[in-house]
Amino acid sequence: MDLGPCSKIHSLQLRKDYEEAKAKGTENFDRELEDMIERLIVECDRKIQRALKRLADDDANAAIAISVSEVTLTDDILQLSKQIKEKMAEVDAFDFEGRTDDKIKAQEVVEELRAKRADMQATLLLDAFNKDRASLTQPAPPQVAAVPPPAPPDARTQEIINEKLKKAEELGEQGMVDEAQKALEEAEALKKLAPRSEPPSDPSKYTAADVRITDQKLRLCDICGAFLSVYDNDRRLADHFGGKLHLGYMLIREKQKELQVNSCMLKPEIQVRYWRFMKQINSSRVSKL
């Protein structure tokens, strides 16, 4: 999710004017933000559904959206999220007041709390993946192919072998035992020189990495739509939870809920104007389709 550089004017004075007007509750200045967030979330949810359908075509068992919001919903995680939200409010307040040093310190605390939360979320999701992996159907042990009998010698080699055997028989009749024994040894040596086929591959020698390449057992994060594998380790999962993509979608989903609550608290006349505005936007979208 890369929206590029912001085209809006970033002015401290304009922000103060906005906060004052917002506190009076005479206008719903967040309607544009809510509409933009809704479009981003709808696009992400559509991407998740397309990915699930694509996975279902290959493996029905793989088409599972991991409910990260449920798997990682514990009291400790909620407490950390609350602390992060409070610290982010401090960052905004320090920025609003122009206290740069305090803002930087608060941002560092936010990053530490986020890293701690990501590690805890990774551990919880790893436990869920371990249960998921244990429930997967285990493949039957590979059958080692029987060793085929040695291939017979070609016609030319067989002809030489027959000559050696005949010579050994003649020498034996003449009492030349040593020479006869030598001819027999040469015949046996020729038999061993017969062309050998390549030994069959042993399926038991395939490593777990080879299996993982062809069978990743992918799952989908229901917050950002990223692909995850039940074979991922805790470090890989922690990187996912602390990544910009996951954090970004998590923030806008939380912001959407906050805006929806705030819109319900508007004055009645403001609500009417707001919903009329949203209706006009939706109507214009339909007309363009």
Whose tokens are 């699930």? That residue is 52
What six digits make up the tokens of 135? 């429930």
Lowest mean pLDDT among 5-19, 44-58, 187-201, 248-262: 187-201
Percent of the chain with pLDDT over 70: 70
Task: Read off the pLDDT band of 105 (50, 70, 90).
Answer: very high
Whose tokens are 């992918």? That residue is 218
Alpha-carbon distance 12 to 94, whole Å? Answer: 12
Output the pLDDT for position 64: 59
Provide the CB-side half-sphere exposure for 156 (13 A, CA): 2
Alpha-carbon distance 145 to 164, whole Å? Answer: 36
- 246, 224 Cβ separation under 8 angstroms: yes
Provide the CB-side half-sphere exposure for 117 (13 A, CA): 26
- 120, 76 Cβ separation under 8 angstroms: yes
pTM summary value? 0.60
Q: What is the Cα gyration radius of the chain?
A: 37
Q: What is the largest CA-CA distance in the chain?
A: 127
Task: Read off the pLDDT band of 46 (50, 70, 90).
Answer: very high
> Given phi > 0 = left and psi -120 to 50 = alpha, else beta, which region is 41?
alpha
pLDDT higher than 90, residue 102? yes
Task: Read off the pLDDT band of 136 (50, 70, 90).
Answer: low
Name the DSSP class of 145.
Answer: P
**How many C-beta atoms surround the C-beta of residue 81 within 10 A?**
16
pLDDT higher than 50, residue 214? no
pLDDT digits (tens, 9 = 90+) for 168-207: 777 777 777 677 777 777 777 777 665 555 455 554 444 4
- Sheet with 218-221: list strands edge to edge: 65-66, 218-221, 227-229
